[in-house]
Amino acid sequence: MDGILEPIFNSILDGNQRGVAAGVQAALDKGYDPEKVLKEAMIAAMQEVGRLFEEGEYFVPEMLVAARAMQGGLAILKPHLIQANIASSGKVIAGTVKGDLHDIGKNLVCMMLEGAAFEIVDLGSDVDPEKFVEAVKTTGAQIVAMSALLTTTMPNMKVTVEALKAAGVRENIKVMIGGAPVTEAYAKEIGADGYAPDASKAVTLAKSLVGLN
């Protein structure tokens, strides 16, 4: 990692929100590609935070301040990841499933979808299946996009698909899912319409689900 990306990486590990913001701004000022900054410094740092947590060197508070520092950097990066588009590609209801508070990946997916001219109805994190159902009934969206980061909350994706079926709205909507523990096989198993491993592939998938490519 070079001398521009490394301070961003280290500031996330230290939970230093100002350091991340300053580092991201410095990288942009130097003409760095925003996606490179995102992937090579910021997402890489969150992976390292996860590794340190697994090894017992970091605890929940450290994960939390790292996440806050990451969100601070994302706010600066956002306008650079979103390009101006004219026609709407469609509407997406997004949320992290019930019981799960991890929202950084979901927020990134929303940002990239916005950049591809999708309108986003962001339900936030820890979203009840009934809330997804209600949003499908009231927003006229074409896609439900669910995120989960915990193996223990992944089953709530299935519960949500079942709730959509029980409410009689499953046929009206495409369901896409993602998040670190989620797989293509799991998407098939629960009857989702698609899985994407990262935010840029989520855009390709969403476009294909609404017939745009």
Which residues make up the interface to ligand B1M (CB under 6 A)?
43, 46-47, 49-50, 53-54, 60, 63-64, 66-67, 99-106, 108-109, 145-147, 149-152, 176-181, 196, 198-199, 202
Smallest gap, in angstroms, from Cβ of residue 201 to ligand B1M?
A: 7
Of the pair 101, 166, the CB lying nearest ligand B1M is at 101
Signed CA dihedral, 64, 69, 70, 76: sign only: positive
Of the pair 29, 74, the CB lying nearest ligand B1M is at 74
Of the pair 27, 154, the CB lying nearest ligand B1M is at 154
Residue 158: Cβ-neighbour burial (10 angstroms; 0-12, 13-18, 19+): middle
Of the pair 3, 97, the CB lying nearest ligand B1M is at 97
| Among 26, 29, 30, residue whose Cα is nearest residue 7 | 26
Smallest gap, in angstroms, from Cβ of residue 204 to ligand B1M?
A: 11
Smallest gap, in angstroms, from Cβ of residue 31 to ligand B1M?
A: 23
Torsion, CA 122, CA 159, CA 161, CA 181, rounded to 10? 70
Smallest gap, in angstroms, from Cβ of residue 62 to ligand B1M?
A: 8
Please give the order of strands across the beta sheet that includes 143-147: 118-122, 90-96, 143-147, 174-178, 194-195
Smallest gap, in angstroms, from Cβ of residue 100 to ligand B1M?
A: 4
Residue 30 carries which DSSP code?
T
Of the pair 3, 211, the CB lying nearest ligand B1M is at 211
Token reading at 148:
């989960």
Residue 71: Cβ-neighbour burial (10 angstroms; 0-12, 13-18, 19+): middle
